[in-house]
Amino acid sequence: MPTDRSPAPTMTVVLDPGHHHRTQEPRPVLELRGRLDPALFLAALDRIAAGHPAPLTGRLRLHRHGPDHHSLELPSATGDPAPCPAGLLADLITSTPALPAAPGDTPGPPPDTASGGETAGSATRGPLPQTFAVTPLQHELLTDASRGPDHQVEQLLWRWHGPLDLTRFTTAWQAVSTCETVLRSAFVWDPHPRTVLFDHPGPDVVTHHTHGTFTDREHLRNTERSHGFDLRRPGPLRIALLDGPPPRTPGEEPSTDIVLTYHRALLDDWSARVLVREFYRAYLAGGTLPGGERRPDLRDYTRWLDRQDPGPARDFWRRTTPHAAPAPLPRATPGEHTGHHGAGHTSTRLSGTETTRLLHWAARHGATESSALHTVWAMLLYRASGPLRGPVPIGFGVSFSGRGGLLDDIERIPGPLANPLPLTVEVDPAAPVERLLRTLRDRVLDMAAYEWTPAGRIHEWLARPGTEPTEPTQPPEPTEPTELPELPETQLAFAHTPRRDDRLTAALAAHGVRVEHPVPAPARTATALSLVAHHDGQGSLVLSAVHDRERLADDRTRAVLAHTARLLRTLPRTAGPGTTVAEVIGSLDGTDLPRMHDRPAPASLLVPLRPAAPAGRAVICLVAAPGAPADWCRALLHAYDGPEAMFVLRTPADVPRGAAALAPVTGPGSRLVLGGFSGAGAIAYEIARRLAAAGRTPPLVVLGGADGDGVRELARALRQAAAD
């Protein structure tokens, strides 16, 4: 263990799993370097004790070696089915307190810190924020978000006409953040995700850009999306303003483009629009919102979700899902590549007249535009699956608003309630189109009764029909893999929006302000192709597609979108009572079919940063904290000047996979040190325990804060651990 006694301004922790001591019952030890905040320390112990089945009182020993040097001995993990989560404790001790000290408060000495080693007690409260379970849908969204900074990042775009008071604008959003708990939320991993609720919002969410800073709104939109979010910090939403050109005539009103970017793990399109409406109220009130914190909120929704009986939902999906798997899209030649990567975006629109005609045609059959879109999509997928033949099951995802549950005021709860669910329907080319329309209408209406059901749970029910779920609405248990469930290759969403408030529009107009209707910019998801339909400010139907450019070629995606719009335009004019599916899709003969390319090989979890270490030197592996931004280790690389080889371990989907990825650097005679910022400790410690169970020498785990001092102190602690 390191023995340097120089004072450290911020806390770093070196976690020894205990196997270095060569005792019969090794005890994990946390060496604490830096100023030990008593309230934070006691709150961390409380948090651990609250989730630990065995009492910890009397089993922890804290030793004081100096004002900025302590060590904490934990109970031995040998034979303990639920060992003390040492990694999570290290994360909590190195975390930033949620609340600053009150005026006049002075930090006292750490509790029970006699140099001979006293028993560490517990406290009733501390500065750590409240946490609560994530929903199963959040669990799936977070798993996909780990694939890239632009995954699950959505946007709303609109234009503000008239004068804009920037101070009032910013203050109004601060007021919304204070009242809405979801805007003060983030995530912690222990090593599985939990939602954490802070008492105060994060930094200002509004950024202002003068005219000419960006070429146009599209440039700003792409820049904002590429930044992603640090999911460990409060604030899943931010707003960027771009001034329009200066008015050229005295009567011309100024304009400002607004790009609202948010993360789907805490918000959805409906939520963002609810928050925009609350912002308008605050702006009109001079930057304030009456009423305090909103309830019910995401915490209440999570508790409501826990109370739902999964039995009827399980029976419904088993009863309505065909036994045969849905027909897949045709595959490209093995080894053939599109030559592109990232997400592709394309859109088209129906005119106002065409939209009205489609609406009336669907209404004559007792359906809506969304049912018409589902019908067209099912026919296109049938056509793409192969030559005309008999009935074939076709599957795709359908997004539900999640606002149909019997929970008071659920329509006003901001949160990630919109839920994509798998829909499978048998398409018969000899059947009338109107029958397929009614079948899909009825199926979606039936699914709406269970729109809270997570797609992963449905996948389990269909894959293992004889099993009965336990704790059905909860994410997988820690021992289970946390991979994404098998998803449909395509997904449809008809933008669900709350009712517009004409009173707010009139009140803004009284201040000389006119705001356009926000337009959604869909997120990149785990599916190969996502199609979102919405109405613009003039009532026209707009279709926007986002596709994985590695799996679908750009030209094929544009062709599919064009076919969709073409059928939506022509069906109301050409589909009579006896028109069959075969007759409709026959009109598309000779046009391009989509071809699905194989998924690219997943990137290696272990990424080399520096060349091999000299003989006898340790290897340092930096562990990415879940939810951290893509450039999380850049400052640490600049601060670390040791000769050791360095790697980065990308956030693994599960602990066994993370441990397996370290095989190249954990051979006989190797010395490994795991390092990272607060938040990486839980998964790093579990990986260390997994390596020990496999007979390898468990590495030391070194953690520190991510601020300026924390980076320097972490680099120093890594040097000391590597030299030990």
What average pLDDT does this structure show over 333-344?
86
Fold of 132-300: Chloramphenicol Acetyltransferase (3.30.559)
Q: What pLDDT score was predicted for residue 171?
A: 95
pLDDT at residue 206 greater than cutoff 90:
yes
Find, among 446, 442, 447, the residue nearest to 365 by Cα.
442
Answer whether the bond into residue 472 is a cis peptide, omega within 30°. Answer: no
| Domain regions of the chain by residue span | 12-128+602-723, 132-300, 310-333+340-500+517-586
CA angle (589, 592, 595) in 5-degree steps: 125
pLDDT score, position 538? 85
Mean model confidence pLDDT for the chain: 85
- In tens, the pLDDT along 264-304 reads 999 999 999 999 999 999 999 999 998 888 899 999 999 99
432 - beta bridge partners? Answer: 580
Neighbours of 311 (CB within 10 A): 11
CATH, domain range 310-333+340-500+517-586: 3.30.559.30
Closest CA to 151 of 486, 490, 556, 522: 522
Q: Find tokens 């094929």 and name the residue.
A: 556
Determine the average pLDDT of the residues in 174-189: 93
Question: What is the C-alpha separation between 425 and 7, in angstroms, rounded?
Answer: 67
* Residue 376: pLDDT band with limits 50, 70, 90: very high
| pLDDT for 430 beyond 90 | yes
* Mean local confidence (pLDDT), 31-48: 86
Task: Count the residues in the chain.
Answer: 724
State the residue for tokens 């389990």. 460
**DSSP-H helix ranges across 228-326:** 269-284, 298-306, 311-320
Q: Which amino acid, one-letter code, is at 325?
A: A
Give, to the nearest 10 degrees, the angle between helix 166-179 and helix 269-284: 120
pLDDT at 76 over 70: yes
**Alpha carbon distance 72, 183 (integer Å):** 35
b/e for 328-357, b at 16 or more Cβ within 10 A?
A: ebeebeeeeebeeeebbbebbbbeeebbeb
What is the C-alpha separation between 357 and 350, in angstroms, rounded?
A: 10
pLDDT given for residue 616 in this prediction: 66
Write the pLDDT tens digit of every residue in 503-520.
Answer: 999 999 999 999 998 999
> Which run of H or of E encompasses 329?
none
Least confident of 273-287, 311-325, 377-391, 471-485: 471-485
Cα–Cα distance, 544 to 348 (Å, whole number): 7
When pLDDT is averaged across residues 534-552 and rounded to a whole number, the result is 91
Instruction: Tell me which H or E stretch contains 288.
Output: none
Number of Cβ atoms within 10 Å of the Cβ of 24: 7
pLDDT at 664: 83
pLDDT digits (tens, 9 = 90+) for 211-241: 999 999 999 999 999 888 888 889 899 999 9
Task: Name the amino acid, one letter, at 281.
Answer: R
* Element housing 71 (H / E): strand 69-73
**In angstroms, what CA-CA distances link 605 with 469, 629, 650, 675, 690?**
32, 16, 5, 15, 17
Around 575, how many Cα atoms within 13 Å sit in the side-chain half-sphere? 29
pLDDT of residue 277: 95
pLDDT score at 386 = 82
Tokens of 205: 């969410």
- Taking the C-alpha atoms of residue 129 and residue 232, their distance in angstroms, rounded to an integer, is 12
Strand partners of residue 607 = 648
- Give pLDDT tens digits for 473-488: 444 443 333 444 466 8
Residue 195 corresponds to which tokens in the numbers above? 């939602």
CA distances from 77 to 25, 26, 296, 696 (A): 8, 8, 41, 16
3-39 pLDDT, tens digit per residue, is 343 444 578 999 998 755 444 567 899 999 988 888 8
Residue 507: Cβ within 10 Å count: 16
At residue 671, the pLDDT reads: 86
Contacts (Cβ under 8 Å, ≥6 apart) of 615: none
Q: Kindly report, residue by residue over 124-166, the tens digit of the pLDDT.
A: 334 678 889 999 999 989 888 877 777 889 999 999 999 999 9
Q: How far apart are CA 232 and CA 43, in angstroms?
A: 19
Mean pLDDT of the region 613-639: 82
Considering Cα of 535, then 536, then 541, then 542, what sign does the dihedral take?
negative
Task: Give the percent of the chain with pLDDT over 90.
Answer: 49
Tokens found for residue 302? 């999570």
Give per-residue pLDDT as tens, 462-476. 876 555 544 444 444
What pLDDT is stored for residue 1 in this prediction?
A: 40
Which comes out higher in pLDDT, residue 383 or 151?
383
Separation between Cα atoms, residue 352 and residue 75, nearest integer Å: 70
Question: Is residue 119 pLDDT above 90, yes or no?
Answer: no
Q: Region 697-721: what's the mean pLDDT?
A: 87
- Is it the case that residue 659 has pLDDT exceeding 60? yes
For the ranges 329-333, 475-479, 527-531, 657-661, the one whose mean pLDDT is highest: 527-531
Residue 592 has pLDDT above 80, yes or no: no
Burial letters 525-552, b for 16+ CB under 10 A, else e: bbbbbbbbbbbeeeebbbbbbbbbbbbb
What's the pLDDT score for residue 26? 75
Least confident of 100-109, 226-235, 657-666: 100-109
Are 154 and 264 a contacting pair, CB within 8 Å?
Answer: yes
Torsion sign across C-alpha atoms 330, 333, 339, 342: positive
Lowest average pLDDT, out of 104-113, 486-495, 521-530, goes to 104-113
Please say whether the beta carbons of 705 and 11 come within 8 A: yes
Task: Report the pLDDT value the prediction gives residue 157, as an integer from 0 to 100.
Answer: 95
Residue that is written with structure tokens 């205990």 in the block: 18
Q: Is the predicted pLDDT of residue 48 greater than 80, yes or no?
A: yes
Q: Please give the pLDDT value at position 531.
A: 95
- Residue matched to tokens 């009935």: 391
Contacts for 176 with CB less than 8 Å, ≥ 6 apart: 183, 275, 278, 279, 282, 289
pLDDT of amino acid 482: 43
- pLDDT, mean of residues 243-260: 92
Q: Which tokens belong to 239? A: 């707003």
CA atoms within a 13 Å half-sphere pointing along the CA-CB vector of 521: 24
Residue 644 burial (CB < 10 Å; 0-12/13-18/19+)? buried
Q: Return the pLDDT at 254.
A: 93
Under 8 Å CB-to-CB from 599, ≥6 apart: which residues?
550, 551
Residues 242, 261: Cα–Cα separation, whole Å? 14
